[in-house]
Structure 1
Amino acid sequence: MNTLTYFPEPYPDEDFRSLVYRYHIRTPNNSLADSIYELFEKKTKKLPLFPNKLKTLLSKLPDNKMGNLEKLISDTTWIRLIQIFMSKDQRIEFTNFIMNGSENPFQAYSKVPGDFFAESVRYCPFCLKDDYEGYGECYVHKKHQIKFMDFCHKHFSKLIDKCPNCDEKLTAEYPSKLLRVPFCKNGHDLTKKLPKDMTPKETEFKYTLFNLLCQMSDNWKTIDRDFMKLKILMVLWKENYIHYKGRVLKKELVDSLLANYDSSLLKEVSIDVRHISHNSFISRILVHKYNKNILFYLLLIHDLFNTYEKFISFEFPIANLIPFGEGPWECINKNCDEYTKKVICKNKRLPKISGGSVITAEFSCPYCGYIYVKRWNVNNGLNEKPMIKTLGHKMIKQILEKYLEGKSALQISTEVNCSEFGVRQNLNRIIGSSNVLKKEDRESVRQIIAAYLETSVSDEFQIKKEKYRLNILEYIKDNKNVSRVEIYKENQESYGWLKRYDKEWLETILPQPLSLKRPSKDLTTYDYALSIKINKISKKLYNEYPYQIKKHTILKKLSSTERSRVSKNQLPLSESTLESQIEPLQNYLIRRLPMAIKNLYKANYKNITLESIKKFNKLYRFCDLETEQTIKTILNNRSFTE
């Protein structure tokens, strides 16, 4: 491997393609392909937007000649910006592609947004003049190659890729030849001032988004996709775009976003309103493919935070309020000895009866039996009076005693601090009438009330509970190390009643049950090993299997025992790995593209386009907008023209 004696230092904001081209023109090589092979050992005449096989270049440079590799990548490419929007696995895979290259570059380039970068190299006329005067030659500026930013961020002049006088292209395709002097092929001066046909509103909008983009790229070490998602979720929570159950209100978010920006402005920055309004796109927000939708997330961050500084510093806790507070809660029965005291330690959550945003709970006083119901709204909190469910045994006893004294329902309600309706309801339930008691009926009513009080469910239940609890506790105290079976045999009545009506308490005092089951096999190690196997199978299928990889495709490669355990939900890691390896149709279309191109070559197609692929292979008619753009980019890099 030959060591290079020379490699140019990058100029300010120089594109990596320009750096390689400047190396080429200073060598005796006849073609750019020779220089590319000399640097990267690749047989190609193209200068790709993102370099690869940098490890080969580094190995050929003298010690310390390259300087800081990270600085070179961040200064001359947009790689670090793209990686901010990638998942951890995607970043690792893309970094490996940049450093070592890949046998399948289509897969690597599929992670780059197809409509984000300009299709041809662009120049600013004023920068051409400054560079030629300052450095003696012109070069490509990295910041001029963002598609939506069609003017220079320094001079605010329109960027050009053709001569304004003769319409001659300024650079060759892919780009095999770049400008060295500020003149077109026909000798026209490119540095003359061009008309500024931009509206102030469009210019300001593009410039703001571009500044945000540059700030994120400059701070790539402190930002990643998880950090970005957390900040977005924080502000969405604060602005009530997240339901209290955790669901992000994505459609409402997109509707609000579109209401804040004119459709003409969004079109200027290559954001398709119909595309981001579609349900298929909305469902994927904050889930995956961040790297394919950089412009959308830039717009979202700008809309939510306004500035990069606020985006970085924004903090807001994502947490629900506790419905009804932490407790204990007070008794609201004015006739209870514990009135207004916080003696209710538990509340009972009731089934949803009032819609998704309202929670209903029941509160029962252990002293008077009074039960009331409260409703809590996630938006308004507690804004309703409690609803009374049961007056409690003490108040009912007072009502019955006063009724025997001959008092009316209205008088009783006043004396016991209860509604007249509540008094009448309980009198009708127990006695059968709520009218004023007549003298001739007093004795018969007295007997009814006496029978009710003697057989009061509340009192009888409490007496039984205390009695049976005591029986069990005394037996356990007198017989240490006793088993559950022995406790049951000696206290069948007490045990059976408590098992039915007071199971929670009974479980707290009983010894641990003896397990009769055979110890289950620890499947954790097995699960981990099978997940690795599934990964290996998937990678092999990806490289060899000509059809779309579906769930059953992978399962067929497993043994019957492995398939059975996966289907029985015994192996969570293997299940999640299996689901992650299922190939979406759009990914399959990208993977299948080299074979589609090969088949078209065999069919004597000379210039292969997306339309010709769709005619030849009907499956490609199901491409979404992102996949179509990616395919066009790949075809463009392969020297095909639309």
Structure 2
Amino acid sequence: MKPILHQNNLVNIEVIELLPFFPTPYPDELLYSMFARYHEWSQNPEEMHTYFDLFGNRATPTVHFPNRLNDFCKRLSTDTLLTPEKLINEHTIFPVYRPFLSKERSEKVHQLMMSSKSANILAVFGLTAIKICPYLRYCPTCVQKDEHQYGEAYWHREHQIYPIRVCPRDKTILVESNVHASSKINGKKLLTLQNYLQQHPYISAIETSDNAIEYQISVDISWLLQNYNHQLNINDLYYRYVEELKALGLANSKGTVTRKELFYQFKETYSEEFLNRYSCNLQHSRKYTWLDSMIKKHMNRFVIPIRHVLLIRFLGYWLSQFFSKKDHDYLPYGSPPYPCLNIASPHYGEELIDSYNSIDSGNRKIKTGIFACQSCGFVYAKYSNGNREKSEFDYVHTYGTLWEDKLLELRRNGHTIKEICDLLSTSESTVYRRLGMVKDRPVNRSENFLIKRDEIRSKWLSKLTNANEETINQMRAVLHYEYSWLRKYDQHWLENNSAPAQRYIRNEKIRREYKWEEIDQQLVTEIPAVVNEILNDNFNFVRVTKEAIGRKINKIHYITVQLDKLPKTKAVVELSLETIEDYHVRKISGIAQNMREREEKVTASKLISKTIKNKKHLTERIQRIVKYEVQKSLFDTEQLILEVF
């Protein structure tokens, strides 16, 4: 800020000195590398002068997440295309971390990188206990290409992502320099990669990685750096993770993940050596691991990007596929339409059902899908956690008239029960049960069966006639076999020839007539004595409240609930009630008196600790009473000494 005289007034105007030049950024160049090239070209004697040129002060930005970018951009020429947003997105490693942060954290980091305030950005990430690359790294193959194309080598940001160790362009193993990436260790040192290589030439043979997974992960990380315009955040990714785990059978319909099975399959995909190399080992003995943090909705822990990439690769996607994938609802039974599975129908297997209803399954942590065919009335059900094909179901909900007609037709044509079971793909118990439940349809029965049916019917009717309005449960206890047989083979007849269900008729509650005037008069005479008894008790201190009065007279319902019907009692009670402060005053005086009678020293701390349970109740009046009781005890002691001597 420089003071300038304007119309006889001294005005503070901020004067910013523009940089005379600034290097044109190379593709994927780290912002630190651009600052180092400016320092070399400007020929400043010390780095602190360069930082003063760039930011207007000597503050040192961090290598991975630099701040004060607004101040820096203000010092560039007006025709520059560089903006704080462009620098963050194209020349820092923040785009790799952004999708794996909540929206609030991401915006906070973005603001801190642009602002002039000094802040620990890693603490916002939650990276205080997680390593980042301690030294700058480079790829020998990229160095050769950059020197050929641009005439000099530079620090690439895609080589600085922890713990990636392979270049995504040519599979070359990255080389670690001795240039510290921490400003606390590096101080204000600015060193270009070209100068570093002149001082420390790379003389070893170029190594390449033959691990396909290692290379694919580095490609995914590089894709994140180049594609920063997506709007996904960690909350969106969580829902996508759960939906994909549902599709793999590793989570139920409510999103609860089968942790043990997931860990087993994850370790089958990635070897323990590979996970340890990338600091992604899973210690199954621990209560929570980094994988738990990614599949539990309310665990607000930051997980480094490579671990997300490992999970996405486990789910079967490249990062570009997963991020461009559109959200969809979980379809546990496949996509519609769904087939009719009525084997007695001519359209068996045809996909005629457009939708299903989802219902709860009792105590199960799953849902049940109900599929109904409108053509034949056949309704079947499938559990959401089953990995069944479309042509399979868990149980039949309703068979429908078409299936039942086919059942009767097969029986009339003389087919045995076993043959019917084979033709309709059902069990013998189902066939027997459905034959007994088919209503008003003649069934070809054997003569012995008809004789037995008539005997059981007559027994049931005889008992029903002499039952004297017994319920069906009472009859069932006496004729247990007959009831079971009829229910299995003749259910429709049983329903029409049973005693009606006896409904419990609740007796009307006899309302008690209360004589409120007499009760009111009686309580008015009892309450004053009870209140005096409470106030005069110097050993069991109780605050005078409605509940305390009601308990003493053993009529708490009248005092607490029905008090509005007792006007005289209400007036006496309200006059007798104690405030918290009045109660504490009485209690302090009583305790002090008891202590004096026991010849115990009365102190303020003892009185307060035995009386006040909450500091907010220690009012000025209470403090005065405590002081008074302490002084009174001292005066009584002095009087006693004078009388003795």
Please name the residue that 2:588 is paired with.
Answer: none
2:226 to 198, 201, 218: 218
Q: Which runs of 5+ in 2 are unaligned?
A: 1-14, 345-356, 373-377, 396-425, 458-474, 487-492, 506-613, 617-645
CA offset at residue 357 of structure 1? Answer: 4.9
CA offset at residue 303 of structure 1? Answer: 1.8
* Cα distance in 1 for residues equivalent to 2:138 and 2:438: 89
Counterpart contact for 2:220–2:309, Cα < 8 Å: yes
Give the aligned length: 403
Q: Taking structure 1 as reference, are residues 375 and 426 closer, same or farther at Cα in structure 2, changes over 3 Å only?
A: farther
Please name the residue that 2:273 is paired with.
Answer: 264
Give the secondary-structure state (helix, strand or coil) at the position aligned to 1:26: helix
Please name the residue that 1:119 is paired with.
Answer: 134
1:396-407 map, 5 Å: 407=451
Give the superposed CA RMSD: 5.3
Which residue identity lines up with residue 189 of structure 2 in the other structure? K
Counterpart contact for 2:55–2:72, Cα < 8 Å: yes
Which residue identity lines up with residue 479 of structure 2 in the other structure? N
Please name the residue that 1:298 is paired with.
Answer: 309
1:36 and 2:79 matched: no
Give the secondary-structure state (helix, strand or coil) at the position aligned to 1:121: strand
Please name the residue that 2:86 is paired with.
Answer: 71
* Cα distance in 2 for residues equivalent to 1:255 and 1:135: 49
1:284 and 2:293 matched: yes
Higher relative contact order (CA 8 A, sep 6+): 1
* Cα distance in 2 for residues equivalent to 1:389 and 1:265: 59
Give the secondary-structure state (helix, strand or coil) at the position aligned to 1:273: coil
Please name the residue that 2:479 is paired with.
Answer: 428
Please name the residue that 1:4 is paired with.
Answer: 18
Give the secondary-structure state (helix, strand or coil) at the position aligned to 1:279: coil
Instruction: Give the TM-score normalised by the residue count of structure 1.
Output: 0.51
CA offset at residue 411 of structure 1? Answer: 9.8
Please name the residue that 1:105 is paired with.
Answer: 120
Give the secondary-structure state (helix, strand or coil) at the position aligned to 2:176: coil
* Cα distance in 1 for residues equivalent to 2:254 and 2:433: 28
Q: Which runs of 5+ in 1 are unaligned?
A: 333-346, 364-371, 414-423, 436-449, 465-555, 559-642
1:17 and 2:36 matched: no
Over residues 601-627 of structure 1, what are the superposed CA-to-partner deviations in whole Å (9 max), with x where a residue is unaligned? xxxxxxxxxxxxxxxxxxxxxxxxxxx
CA offset at residue 397 of structure 1? Answer: 14
1:408 and 2:452 matched: yes
Please name the residue that 2:509 is paired with.
Answer: none
Please name the residue that 1:83 is paired with.
Answer: 98
Over residues 104-145 of structure 1, what are the superposed CA-to-partner deviations in whole Å (9 max), with x where a residue is unaligned? 425655445865642111223344444455545442121221
1:43-442 map, 5 Å: 43-45=58-60, 47-105=62-120, 108=123, 110-112=125-127, 115=130, 117-132=132-147, 134-162=149-177, 173-174=185-186, 176-180=188-192, 182=194, 190-192=201-203, 194-196=204-206, 200-201=210-211, 204-225=212-233, 226-274=235-283, 278-286=287-295, 287=297, 288-289=299-300, 291-312=302-323, 314=325, 316-319=328-331, 352=362, 356-357=365-366, 376-378=382-384, 379=386, 380=388, 382-384=393-395, 407-409=451-453, 428-429=479-480
Counterpart contact for 2:65–2:121, Cα < 8 Å: no
Q: Taking structure 1 as reference, are residues 265 and 29 closer, same or farther at Cα in structure 2, changes over 3 Å only?
A: same
CA offset at residue 269 of structure 1? Answer: 2.6
* Cα distance in 2 for residues equivalent to 1:433 and 1:22: 94
* Cα distance in 1 for residues equivalent to 2:269 and 2:228: 28
Counterpart contact for 1:16–1:76, Cα < 8 Å: yes
CA offset at residue 42 of structure 1? Answer: 4.8
* Cα distance in 2 for residues equivalent to 1:176 and 1:275: 43
Counterpart contact for 1:32–1:45, Cα < 8 Å: no
Give the secondary-structure state (helix, strand or coil) at the position aligned to 1:161: strand
1:456 and 2:499 matched: yes
* Cα distance in 1 for residues equivalent to 2:182 and 2:129: 20
CA offset at residue 278 of structure 1? Answer: 4.9
Give the secondary-structure state (helix, strand or coil) at the position aligned to 2:246: helix
Q: Taking structure 1 as reference, are residues 76 and 241 closer, same or farther at Cα in structure 2, changes over 3 Å only?
A: same
Q: Taking structure 1 as reference, are residues 150 and 434 closer, same or farther at Cα in structure 2, changes over 3 Å only?
A: closer
Counterpart contact for 1:396–1:426, Cα < 8 Å: no
Over residues 422-468 of structure 1, what are the superposed CA-to-partner deviations in whole Å (9 max), with x where a residue is unaligned? xx989934978989xxxxxxxxxxxxxx999787317x99xx9xxxx
Q: Taking structure 1 as reference, are residues 197 and 103 closer, same or farther at Cα in structure 2, changes over 3 Å only?
A: closer
Counterpart contact for 1:47–1:176, Cα < 8 Å: no
Which residue identity lines up with residue 279 of structure 2 in the other structure? S
Q: Taking structure 1 as reference, are residues 64 and 111 closer, same or farther at Cα in structure 2, changes over 3 Å only?
A: farther
Please name the residue that 1:26 is paired with.
Answer: 41
* Cα distance in 2 for residues equivalent to 1:136 and 1:278: 53
Q: Taking structure 1 as reference, are residues 107 and 182 closer, same or farther at Cα in structure 2, changes over 3 Å only?
A: closer
Which residue identity lines up with residue 214 of structure 2 in the other structure? K
Please name the residue that 1:551 is paired with.
Answer: none
Over residues 216-244 of structure 1, what are the superposed CA-to-partner deviations in whole Å (9 max), with x where a residue is unaligned? 33222124124433433332222122202
Task: Tell me the percent identity.
Answer: 19
Counterpart contact for 1:242–1:249, Cα < 8 Å: yes
Counterpart contact for 2:68–2:116, Cα < 8 Å: yes
Q: Taking structure 1 as reference, are residues 389 and 39 closer, same or farther at Cα in structure 2, changes over 3 Å only?
A: farther
Over residues 1-43 of structure 1, what are the superposed CA-to-partner deviations in whole Å (9 max), with x where a residue is unaligned? 3232332221222111111122223335443233223323454
Give the secondary-structure state (helix, strand or coil) at the position aligned to 2:479: helix
Counterpart contact for 2:95–2:224, Cα < 8 Å: no
Give the secondary-structure state (helix, strand or coil) at the position aligned to 1:274: coil
Counterpart contact for 2:44–2:50, Cα < 8 Å: yes
Q: Taking structure 1 as reference, are residues 215 and 289 closer, same or farther at Cα in structure 2, changes over 3 Å only?
A: farther
* Cα distance in 2 for residues equivalent to 1:382 and 1:243: 18
CA offset at residue 348 of structure 1? Answer: 13
* Cα distance in 1 for residues equivalent to 2:308 and 2:124: 20
CA offset at residue 247 of structure 1? Answer: 1.8
* Cα distance in 1 for residues equivalent to 2:123 and 2:52: 20
Counterpart contact for 1:122–1:145, Cα < 8 Å: yes
* Cα distance in 2 for residues equivalent to 1:349 and 1:136: 68
